[in-house]
Amino acid sequence: MRTGRLEEASALARGIGKTITKRTKTQLITIGENTDGKKLRSCVRHLTGKTSNSQQVEDITADSLNDHYANMSTDAYCQPLLKNSAYNYNTDSISEWSVFNVLDTLRPTSTGLDNLPAWFLRLGAPIFYKPLTYLFNFSE
C-alpha cells in the first residue's frame, strides 16, 4: 500500500464487505425454505454477479471507488532502503593484517576442497598472507 493509506483502504474494504454480507443475507432470507431449485439457482447467480445488476450499494458508487483509488495512486512513491548484499557491498580493500589474522587463528578442522589442512595454512600464514591479500583485493 502507499504510505499512510493502509487504514483508509482497510476501512473501505471492511465497509464493502459488511454491505455485501448484509445484502446477501437479506436476499437469501426472502427466498424461504420451500423454494424450488430453479429460483434458488437464479438467486445465487444474481448474488454472484452472473446477471446484470445496476443497483447502487449504500453510498458507494463506481465514481467514489475510482476517486479513492485515483487519490491513492497519486501518492508519492517511497523507494525502499538498500540492503547490504553481495551486489552493493562496498569495501575499499582487505588489509594484510586481517588476512594474516584469519589464517593464523584457523581452527583445526578437516581439509576442504583444496585438500590443504588447517595446520598447514596456520604455519604458512607469514608467507601466504601477502599474495592472498593481493588476490582478494584484485578480485573485487
Domain ranges of the chain: 6-73, 96-138
**pLDDT tens column, 4-24:** 677 888 888 888 888 888 877
Burial of 128 (0-12, 13-18, 19+ CB in 10 A): middle
- Helices (runs of H) and strands (runs of E) counted in the chain: 6, 0
Residue 62 in this model has a pLDDT that exceeds 70: yes
**pLDDT tens column, 67-78:** 877 777 766 667
Residue 107 cell numbers, joined: 581452527
Q: Please tell me whether residue 61 adopts helix, strand or coil conformation.
A: coil
Would you state the pLDDT for residue 131? 93
pTM for this entry:
0.35
Does residue 86 or residue 115 have the better pLDDT?
115
Q: What single letter denotes the amino acid at residue 65?
A: L
Name the CA dihedral angle for 23, 28, 29, 33, rounded to a multiple of 10 degrees. Answer: 180
